[in-house]
Amino acid sequence: MRKVVFLVLSSFLTYIQLLAQGTVLSGSVRDSATGKPMPGVSVFLNSTSKGTVTRADGTFTLGGITPGRYEVIISAVGYQTFNLAISTRNLPTDLKVALHVKASELSAVVIEPYMKDGWKKYGKFFIDNFIGTTENASYCKLKNKEVLRFHYYLKSRKLSVTAIDPLIIENKALGYDLEYRLERFECDFSTNIISYFGYPLFREMTADDPQTRQEWERHRRYAYLGSEMHFLRTLYKGQLHQEGFIVEHEIEVPNIEKQRVKNIYKPNITKTDSIPIDSLHHYWDVLRQPDFFIQKIKSTDDLLTIHPDLTKTMYFLGDCTVIYGNGRLGIAYQESAINLLEPVSIEIGENGSYYPPTILSKGNWSKTETIANLLPRDYELVAPGTPSKTLQ
């Protein structure tokens, strides 16, 4: 009886500790077909270091969640991955998930065979564009390349890469081991557009000595400053100018002259006897112009919208150009850009997350926003010489 009381007390104290660290998400996982609880299932927040596994009864508790928007990922071998967008503003009180068995890989191979020599033909191309070619990339290693499946579609000139198991990536530059569940990597050789998405879980490496830890912190700092995550966090706070970002984006400006001309001249209706010919030519030219012009502005007033429920969204036309540099830290000014693949507003969170994932990176970010420079969403920038608060 004492043992039972001790276990209950221990679990209660653990739960209190999790509450003290931040928001807590709890729930349970079962097999959709049998209804039985599933132990040992991976539960984590996408692109963070926050993860756990289900207990013997299928339940889980995930604590220490800092404010922001996240994607909960629940994954088990042989089952379809479950994902759910959540916000710390309204977390589910008891998340109940039923996992569905995947279709057998044999069926998938029959329908869509993969290239047996895919790694030999496209392995370097995949690594260069997935892990990257920056200095940090030379310290990264993909430890299980055999799980990759390469598909090339001759008619559409597209390369698609999938993985039958999570990719295990060692990043000795930033001090992380990544477990990356690759959903899709695609390259359209007709447009030269490369896109990929998946669900990474970060695990902190153990430093052999204080100097290694300091090097990791230094590399993380330089990977963060000027990154897309840094930009989105700073935009959320409304401090782009204070943190050194120069932003230029496009807005629609009404064609004032066309509006004026429409008020005084209507083709086939307005009598032209008393209108000078040069004025008529001007009217005709103006009426052929668009109702709105696209104008680039450096103001960020129209970039961010704060809604009544305090959520924040970003929207712009064309490209949003972002310039960042820090002379004090020796970071040269680099120009990047983002483009919205769909004309919809993007919701952004305190931690630099965004949804839906329809942002295309260009310029410097197209080279640096790769796995080699990827940081978890719960990363916190610390001053040089200060112990990391990221993964405590």
What's the confidence (pLDDT) of residue 375? 97
Total-model pTM: 0.78
Q: How far is CA 101 from CA 98, 106, 135, 148, 390, in A?
A: 10, 14, 41, 21, 35
Residue 110 has pLDDT above 80, yes or no: no
Q: Which residue has the higher pLDDT, 42 or 193?
A: 42
Which residue type sits at 33?
A: A
Instruction: Kindly list the distances between the CA atom of residue 338 and the CA atoms of 21, 71, 200, 239, 303, in Å, as whole numbers in the listed order.
Output: 34, 22, 22, 19, 13
HSE-CB of 230 using CA atoms within 13 angstroms: 25
Amino acid making up residue 138? S
Q: Residue 112: its pLDDT value, please?
A: 58
pLDDT computed for residue 15 by the predictor: 42
User: Can you say whether the dihedral through the CA atoms of 295, 298, 302, 304 is positive or negative?
Assistant: positive
Which range of 19-33, 51-65, 76-90, 273-287 scores highest in mean pLDDT? It is 51-65
pLDDT tens-digit series, residues 33-86: 999 999 999 999 999 999 999 999 999 999 888 888 899 999 998 899 999 988
Q: Quick one: pLDDT at residue 305?
A: 92
Tokens matching residue 28? 């349970």
Averaged pLDDT score across all residues of the chain: 87
Q: For residue 39, which of 77, 81, 89 has the smallest C-alpha distance?
A: 77
Tokens of 94: 């008891």
Least confident window among 26-40, 42-56, 100-114, 226-240: 100-114
Q: Parallel, antiparallel, or unpaired: how do β-strands 95-99 and 23-31 relate?
A: parallel
| DSSP character at residue 101 | B
Residue 158: strand pairing partners: 153, 188
Q: What percent of the chain has pLDDT over 90?
A: 64
